[in-house]
Structure 1
Amino acid sequence: MPSGAARVRLESVSSGREGRLMVTHGYVDGFADLLFGARRAAAQRYGRLFGEADFDQDWWAATEEPGARAYQRYLRLLPNMSAVETVSDLRECLTLHEQSTVVDPHLGALLTVQVNLVLGTLLEQHSRTGEVANALTELLAGRAVGAYVLTEVGHGSDLNNLETTAVYDPADGGGFVLNTPTDAAIKFMPTTAAPPVAGIARFGIVFARLIIDGASQGVYPFLVWMCDADGQLRPGLTIRRMPEKPGLGMDNAMTRFDNVRVSRECLLSHTGTRIDDDGTLVSPIPRDNQVWRAISRVRVGRLCISGMAAAVARAAVSIAVRQSAQRDIASMAGGRVPLLQVPAHYAPLLEAVVDTYLATSAVEIAVDDFAAAIDSGADEQGPELTDLVSLTKYFATSTAQRVCGEVRDRLGAQGVFAHNKIVEYRALRDAAATAEGDSYVIALLAGYRRLERPGQWTQENWDALEPCEIDAPASWVKWMDARAQFLQHRVLEAYENTTGDRQARWDRVYDLALAAADAHTAHQAAVRLAERAAELPAGPRQVVENVLTLFAVRQCLAHGADLLPDGPLPKTPEPLRDMRVRLHEMLAPHLTELVAAFELETGSLRTVYDSDSYIEQCANALRHG
């Protein structure tokens, strides 16, 4: 049990009404500024927007046709969100994705396609006339939706080996003929099926290998209309909706092209690529990393998905803490005890909150670096920024997996019902881990590229480490840096001493390389959080420093074996388990404030716990059903 003072505070925060978390220390603003920085105002604005009646719902009916509901909400949202300005502002785009995902994961998933991938790609075109102008007009007016038609059933995201072809044909003013040459080239997963709302047409941004005079010029996007507003498919297209994807209402489909002709204007490229009248390819996408430059919006998409994963972690743990504030259980000493006073219950939630703070910090680092690259005109498609975003996505989606899993278990039976959102959040997390590049695979690729970096580890790094005591967060952050450097040193050493070709050598070190890259991401997130905590007054700063220390202690408990036999294990004056328990007790009085800083108090969660009493909610549903 917490100490007496902690127990009093916990009791004072567990008596909230209308599902709101009552807090007592006045630290929420500081925590929220620390988490979101300059994006906080935008998050609050979208929170108010999604708290309006257009997004209201009866929790009992919340899961009826969620895919169609997401489209209806998207069409209502479209005229109110300044879509062109939003997609052109990285921080605004990310915040929209985060906040929409909290209120409706199906809507968040839909926006990743419609706003970032489709609208973003069309706006990048040098010429927005003709076919592109028409698609933009129909999309922004809500008369059409798009699809990002990239992955193939036999190749997944192995973009260099995509087989769909677009052969240039100079006849009739010039155009392209799209074909699916093999079964392996069938487009798999893109949302090409007719929309689940009436009167909406669909076009696709289809990635295909451009062929001119029998020679491949690389993979390019093409604008292709898929179906009309009445649901009628365009000639040459075969589309079949995929079976249900439990937990997430997306209209995924398989698509085949058979001699589908599009005009010359339908070749898309952010470099202004076009076919001249004599059939010459003008301003092609540069050959270096060509296919990745062709899918230029995917990196922004990865960043948005990272934010969405962190957002569902924040929302999930918020729901769990609200539930805990309304529950009590039988005490082993007799009588009843509030659930928020039971260490076996609040300690896992505290650790979920801690992980979520670090994931949010990691996303902020990637946002700032990406925005700086845009502002400076640097190559945002380069490997350094690509790897940062990839590792952030892996870190955030892994965190969301742990947090949502923990929360589902803490909610018990309530956690299995979709109206309490955890099932949907987990489904969104699963989809996010796959979309815009499998999190595991792209993190491995980033780890592989880190083999080219020189190692920084020396024995002096270890010798210089100070004792890692419970009140020394800076020492713990330095230990996290030493751990990351040592693991990278071990990777480079193992790779150098392994024989065989590059694949054989990589196969021997891939797991260690991923561990080193993830440790680096964790350390960078901790540094950012520590820097922002230093700007807070003493009280809230101490809380955040305890958050950092608990994170580091748990990193050591979970991954310390990776450092054996000669790595930099922290020098601690007490067992790590005892330190962990003490940190739980120190942070317990601040649990609700740490969660309240997520600022999800506007009613946007709309679960059974956004009420005076979830018991009353259930009784009313039965009484008035």
Structure 2
Amino acid sequence: MSSLSEQIASHPFFTADVSALPFDERIALSYQRAILILRTYNLTTDDVLNLTPKFWSMHLDPNIALDYGLFTILAAQINLTVGTLSRHVKSRPDLVPLVNALLKGDIIGLYLLSERGHGLDAINIETTAHQQEDGTTKFMPASNPTFGINKIALVMARLIIKGEDKGMRPSFGASPLDFSMTRFNKVKLPASALLSDSFEAPRDARAAWWDTLWRIPIGSFAVAGPCVSGLKHTAYVGGAYSLRRKVAPHGEKVPIFSFPTQQWSVLHSVASARILEAWYHEATHPIKHGLAVLVKATVIREAMECSHEMAERCGAQGTFDTNFIARHKADLNSVIIAEGDVLALCIRLWGELVLNRYTLPIPDAKESLLANHAHALLEEGRQILRRIPGGHRSEAAEYELLPESERAVIALGHACAFSAAKRAGVPQVLLELYECAAIRDDPAWFSEHAGLSREAQRVKEGAALRVAAPDIEKYLEDLNVKYAVRASIISDENWLPRWSACRSTLGMLRVASLVSHPALTAHACDVEKK
């Protein structure tokens, strides 16, 4: 990882123990962290507009995975607000000072799109250029006017001229920021606040809508970046703990990593982190909406599965906020609906794919077992569509085709990720482990069509674990996140300061008063004498 990331990791904003901070102070710290990252990476308008490697490097910074509140601020600030404005800078030089202030973090930008009652169908937003009689409110993070932060908002509203709806246009002006309902009451904006080259109604309202929201697909892809970094944190924390924690089932102490069940959880996370990171790097050139959906769905679902497994294998300490994994699990539940609900995105994409309206660069079926699986599911979906009466809008399609949407899209993602990681030179045994994990998602198909019985699938997993386990320390080191990890569970060096900081509570134990049976009372007295 870059020296910029290591520089950020050593800053007091990131070394501070946030577990005991009050809610408002944690939010304030998220803003301070976001501004620190903005000023450290020092992105330019060109970086944001053209999605340069520096832009993506920031999204993959391991420090961001520690605080998804921070990432929410950055996502709205850089990708949505600056990204939308960047396309207008050449024709609107008056926007340059504003964009520069946003890039430096002097002003925090909001992107007010969705409304209460208009999330997935945001194309039907009710906010217009005149006061709404029904009191429509915007509902987006982070829109609370507190924490001493200067804020500006891009507000998506329908442009009404002489009673005629001219379609959705973005406008900007000073506005509050943290989840809140934002209502506009007789707000007067100058003509320069309107970001549009034309006042004419678009010929194709839906196409114009997506053109205006062109940064949303990029955002769908971008939110997967911190999830990849979070998966690396999960693998490192779980792996380091599994090597440190020892038990003595037969007298001699051994690390819990010596058990295959523990090895699977750790190595599954390691393999997924390495494979998905390689794919993420490759997929940034260029980004298409369908590919963004593929990456987001695959990365987040895999991260959720790994964090769930790893949290359980870390025992009680896996539930502690200070050990990252439990907090990461909760964050993933919110990220999966950010920049587009994953299920809704997959339903739309899967429908387009089986209708042959859209294509994705899926590896050739002969390239790998996972690619063969992906092509088979795609053909199966097309066969179902041809068989059912009424086509893709029928009730039969809703029950037979749509429920498979997300699983099928993720299967395509597994095939693409595997292929990209192979090209990137990820170790073969990690590829095999990732393949085993993908097989677990659809074991019946691999048994029916790939000649892998249930027993053969277990044997395949066991063989991969035996090869990978001896090199676990190297694989953990290769994740390159140790410098950013703050979990106390990974070492005595991290654990002892936290233990020393715990609040002590003194109580009096009166054993004899709790025991009524004479024999037990005598035993209690013996205990007290000892």
Please report the TM-score for the alignment, with normalisation by the length of structure 2.
Answer: 0.85
Instruction: Name 2:170's counterpart in structure 1.
Output: 221
Confirm whether residue 526 of structure 1 aligns to residue 418 of structure 2.
yes
Match of 1:335 among 242, 249, 252: 252
Q: What residue identity is the alignment partner of 2:134?
A: T
Match of 1:395 among 298, 305, 316: 298
Q: What residue identity is the alignment partner of 1:493?
A: Q
Confirm whether residue 447 of structure 1 aligns to residue 350 of structure 2.
yes
- Where does 1:236-315 land on structure 2 (aligned, <5 Å)? 251-269=178-196, 273-275=197-199, 281=200, 287=205, 289-315=207-233
Instruction: Give the drift of 1:405.
Output: 1.3
Confirm whether residue 156 of structure 1 aligns to residue 108 of structure 2.
no
Instruction: Name 2:79's counterpart in structure 1.
Output: 116
> Which segment drifts farther, 426-435 or 312-321?
426-435
Instruction: Give the drift of 1:285.
Output: 9.4
Q: 1:219 to 1:190 in 2, by over 3 A?
A: farther
Query: For 1:414 and 1:205, how far apart are their aligned partners in 2?
Result: 42
Gaps of 5+ in 1: 1-42, 167-176, 228-240, 242-250, 276-280, 371-384, 466-476, 534-540
Percent identity of the aligned residues?
A: 23
Instruction: Give the drift of 1:503.
Output: 2.0
- Where does 1:141-540 land on structure 2 (aligned, <5 Å)? 142-166=105-129, 177=130, 179-182=131-134, 185-196=136-147, 198=148, 200-227=149-176, 251-269=178-196, 273-275=197-199, 281=200, 287=205, 289-331=207-249, 333-370=250-287, 385-453=288-356, 478-500=368-390, 502-504=392-394, 505-507=396-398, 508-533=400-425
Q: 1:96 to 1:63 in 2, by over 3 A?
A: farther
Partners of 2:234 and 2:269 within 8 A in 1: no
Instruction: Give the drift of 1:408.
Output: 1.6
Query: For 1:620 and 1:495, how far apart are their aligned partners in 2?
Result: 63
Q: 1:308 to 1:600 in 2, by over 3 A?
A: same
Gaps of 5+ in 2: 506-530
Confirm whether residue 97 of structure 1 aligns to residue 46 of structure 2.
no
Per-residue deviation, residues 434-476 of structure 1 (Å, max 9, x unmatched):
11101121122111110232999xxxx99xx7xxxxxxxxxxx
Q: 1:313 to 1:352 in 2, by over 3 A?
A: same
> Which segment drifts farther, 66-75 or 509-518?
509-518
Partners of 1:144 and 1:201 within 8 A in 2: yes
Instruction: Give the drift of 1:138.
Output: 4.3
Q: 1:592 to 1:290 in 2, by over 3 A?
A: farther
Q: What residue identity is the alignment partner of 2:138?
A: K
Instruction: Give the drift of 1:116.
Output: 1.6
Partners of 1:488 and 1:513 within 8 A in 2: no
Per-residue deviation, residues 364-408 of structure 1 (Å, max 9, x unmatched):
3321232xxxxxxxxxxxxxx111111110001101111221222
Partners of 2:60 and 2:225 within 8 A in 1: yes
Partners of 1:285 and 1:294 within 8 A in 2: no
Q: SS at the partner of 1:221?
A: strand
Instruction: Name 1:125's counterpart in structure 2.
Output: 88
Instruction: Name 1:236's counterpart in structure 2.
Output: none
Instruction: Name 2:11's counterpart in structure 1.
Output: 53
Partners of 2:141 and 2:179 within 8 A in 1: yes
- CA RMSD, aligned part only? 3.0
Q: 1:546 to 1:430 in 2, by over 3 A?
A: same
Match of 2:467 among 573, 576, 586: 586
Instruction: Give the drift of 1:133.
Output: 4.3
Q: 1:80 to 1:530 in 2, by over 3 A?
A: closer
Per-residue deviation, residues 78-135 of structure 1 (Å, max 9, x unmatched):
33321325434443222212214234333222211112211222222143344x3453
Partners of 2:290 and 2:349 within 8 A in 1: yes
Query: For 2:101 and 2:379, how far apart are their aligned partners in 1?
Result: 54
Query: For 2:37 and 2:420, how far apart are their aligned partners in 1?
Result: 34
Partners of 1:320 and 1:407 within 8 A in 2: yes
Query: For 2:281 and 2:78, how far apart are their aligned partners in 1?
Result: 21
> Which segment drifts farther, 481-490 or 339-348?
339-348
Q: What residue identity is the alignment partner of 1:598?
A: L
Partners of 2:112 and 2:138 within 8 A in 1: yes
The higher-RCO structure (CA 8 Å, 6+ apart) is 1
Query: For 2:282 and 2:203, how far apart are their aligned partners in 1?
Result: 29
Q: 1:516 to 1:623 in 2, by over 3 A?
A: closer
Confirm whether residue 617 of structure 1 aligns to residue 497 of structure 2.
yes
Query: For 1:606 and 1:61, how far apart are their aligned partners in 2?
Result: 11
Per-residue deviation, residues 606-625 of structure 1 (Å, max 9, x unmatched):
22146544442344324999
Q: SS at the partner of 1:262?
A: coil
Query: For 1:455 and 1:59, how far apart are their aligned partners in 2?
Result: 48
Per-residue deviation, residues 163-210 of structure 1 (Å, max 9, x unmatched):
1112xxxxxxxxxx4x34535x421233221142x2x32221111111
Q: SS at the partner of 2:118?
A: coil
Q: SS at the partner of 2:257?
A: helix
Confirm whether residue 599 of structure 1 aligns to residue 474 of structure 2.
no
Q: 1:487 to 1:420 in 2, by over 3 A?
A: same
Q: 1:62 to 1:361 in 2, by over 3 A?
A: farther
Partners of 1:97 and 1:111 within 8 A in 2: no
Partners of 1:487 and 1:515 within 8 A in 2: no
Q: SS at the partner of 1:209?
A: strand
Match of 2:43 among 58, 76, 83: 83
Q: 1:186 to 1:327 in 2, by over 3 A?
A: same
Per-residue deviation, residues 216-261 of structure 1 (Å, max 9, x unmatched):
222121102215xxxxxxxxxxxxx9xxxxxxxxx11111223322
Query: For 1:138 and 1:557, how far apart are their aligned partners in 2?
Result: 49
Per-residue deviation, residues 293-343 of structure 1 (Å, max 9, x unmatched):
111211221121111111111111111112223211122x22321122222
Q: 1:136 to 1:407 in 2, by over 3 A?
A: same
Q: 1:74 to 1:515 in 2, by over 3 A?
A: closer
